[in-house]
Amino acid sequence: MLSKKRAVLFITVGVSIGSIAYAITPRHPAKQEPEEQRAIITTVPQIISCAKNLKVVKSQIKGPLLLVEVENTGEVGVIGVAMTTAKDRAAYTVTLSGSFKGTGDHLIVIKPHERNVLNMDVSNIFPGVPLQIDGAMYADGTEEGCDLVTLHQIRDRESKNNKEKPD
């Protein structure tokens, strides 16, 4: 009789544990939140230049890139230019710069009255938000624009790296 009681007890405990496990286990897998998909631009956004001597001549989407052709309308060569797309707290910046050390034409990325192209991946551009040419640094040490932070950071990092390297 003892073995029948044990068998009944074992079955009862097993069924109870199984019932509890079934009750607390979700029957449907939890729905995962889809990652936020950023729309890819298909038309060229408005481009605003904060640097009066940099004129946007042409812009086009070519494959995965937005190509922005910029002309230096000034009399001094450009050694650095930055372009940004920003929305809320997110921002993406591309730069076109040579070296900020020394002098000479090798530093100039856009000679006076000539052009060069800034490239930005279209997946990094916020739809419906204009791009901004933040500013420019010139070979004579002058600079202009509404946001020169990125160019200053590049210059300062390059200056720091040059100080650490023995000549």
CA-wise closest residue to 92 among 64, 121, 67: 121
Please state, in angstroms and rounded to a whole number, the distance separating the CA atoms of residues 131 and 134: 9
Q: What is the CATH number of domain 47-164?
A: 2.60.40
Rg value, the chain, Cα? 30
Sign of CA dihedral 142, 104, 166, 153: positive
**Rounded Cα–Cα distance for residues 132 and 109 (Å):** 19
Band of pLDDT at residue 119, cut at 50, 70 and 90: very high
**Is a pLDDT exceeding 70 seen at residue 164?**
no
Average pLDDT, the chain: 81
% of the chain exceeding 90 in pLDDT? 35
Q: How far is CA 114 from CA 23, 53, 57, 100, 152, in A?
A: 73, 11, 11, 20, 24
**What's the confidence (pLDDT) of residue 5?**
75
Q: pLDDT digit string (tens) for 30-63?
A: 555 544 556 777 889 999 999 999 999 999 999 9
Q: What are the sequence ranges of the domains in the chain? A: 47-164
- C-beta separation of 110 from 70 below 8 A: yes
Residue 94 confidence (pLDDT) above 80? yes
Q: What's the average model confidence in pLDDT over 106-111?
A: 84
Tell me if 132 sits within 8 A of 84, measured CB to CB. yes
Nearest Cα residue to 121 out of 163, 65, 159, 72: 65
pLDDT of res. 100: 61
Regarding beta strands 47-49 and 131-138, do their DSSP bridges make them parallel or antiparallel, or are they unpaired? parallel
Say what the pLDDT of residue 35 is.
47
